[in-house]
Amino acid sequence: MFSDTHFHFHHLIERGLDGTEILAQLAQRNTFFGLDIGTRSDDLLRRHVQLQETVARLPEELRSSADQMLYYSAGIWPDVDEIKNRTEAMKKLEDSIEAFADKSHLAAIGECGIDHHWNPSGADGRSESDFDKSVYEGERELFQMQIELAQKMKLPVIVHSRDAFEDTLDCIKNMGYHCGIIHCYSYGKDEARAFLDLGWHIAFGGSTTYTKKAKMEEMNELLRFVPDDRLLMETDSPYLAPVPFRGQTNTPLLIEHCYHFVAQARGILASELSLLVDKNIRELFKI
């Protein structure tokens, strides 16, 4: 069955969805890896507790499979408040990692990175006016601090990069640690080449299925360009539900629609793509 490489399961619970049913279906599918992504400096322990409580509500025969598939990352999304208080935020992040009991299932640092998509009325409330010189430089510093932490812990980095290719590339080059994922990839082929040449993986999700007809060949070329050993798939739930569910709340159960879309572009079966991604997951996350 299809793998899932990224889901914000705590968001699903907070939105009142039946997280127990979703996790049960993933376990029944024999999903071997689901990564619950961190976005706040202090959310790791809370997310772990929430998921463990969800596992405990499953039928007994599914609990072991569900528990084994769940992995976690810890990281700080580039929120303005976290950027401004980055030293304190990093202390909270490192303290939460130190207190995390299930170290073998801490798989990555992130998501962290650079976001220059300005949409003051959106969920993130990001406005260009918030990013004066000190915040702009602080965002880069917070990102680089987390890359440094990942290198120290010998973990991959999950990179959030939106409308910020040059700054993202500059930061990772500054740190010289090239192990991880450019997640929810939103750039073109030339930008992909720059990341790939440094050793990064590229992850595609539901947004690839939004491609307009006029841009479809360009997207297909990008999807074919990423080498077999650098390609990953993800859901980014509860966001970016793939077509035909665009605009609805996303869940990891919809990942197969992304697999079919990408597999078609690459001229292979979705089941073949799933095996390829499984292999890349095991190698990148060392599981």
Render pLDDT for 206-261 as a digit per residue (tens, 0 to 9): 999 999 999 999 999 999 999 999 999 999 888 899 999 999 989 999 999 999 99
Q: Residue 43 — very low, low, confident or very high, per pLDDT cuts 50/70/90?
A: very high
Give burial (CB, 10 Å; 0-12/13-18/19+) of 104. exposed
- Which residue(s) pair with 115 in the sheet? 162
Return the pLDDT at 166.
Answer: 98
Closest alpha carbon to 29 in 208, 274, 269:
274
Whether the Cβ atoms of residue 3 and residue 259 lie closer than 8 Å to each other: no
End-to-end CA gap in the chain: 18
Return the pLDDT at 119.
Answer: 76
What whole-number percentage of the chain has pLDDT above 90?
83
Interatomic CA distance for residues 250 and 8, integer angstroms:
10
Two structure tokens written together for 214:
């006029």
Q: Residue 14 — very low, low, confident or very high, per pLDDT cuts 50/70/90?
A: very low
User: Cα dist. 279→30, 119, 209, 275 in Å?
Assistant: 15, 37, 23, 6
Two structure tokens written together for 226:
């990423």
Question: 111-164 pLDDT, tens per residue?
Answer: 999 999 987 677 777 888 889 999 999 999 999 999 999 999 999 999 999 999
Q: Is the pLDDT of residue 100 over 90?
A: yes
Mean pLDDT, the chain, whole residue set = 93
What predicted TM-score, i.e. pTM, was given to this entire model?
0.94
Query: Where in the chain are the domains?
Result: 9-285
Provide mean pLDDT across the span 23-50: 93
Q: Is the pLDDT of residue 89 over 60?
A: yes
Question: 172-193 pLDDT, tens per residue?
Answer: 999 999 999 999 999 999 999 9
CATH topology of domain 9-285: TIM Barrel (3.20.20)
Amino acid identity, position 195? F
Instruction: List Cβ neighbours of 112 (8 Å cut-off, separation of 6 or more).
Output: 75, 76, 77, 78, 142, 143, 146, 147, 157, 158, 159, 160
Please report where in the chains the tokens 């973990």 appear, as a residue.
Answer: 155
Interatomic CA distance for residues 269 and 262, integer angstroms:
9
Q: Is the pLDDT of residue 5 over 80?
A: no
Please report where in the chains the tokens 């914000």 appear, as a residue.
Answer: 8
Instruction: List Cβ neighbours of 166 (8 Å cut-off, separation of 6 or more).
Output: none
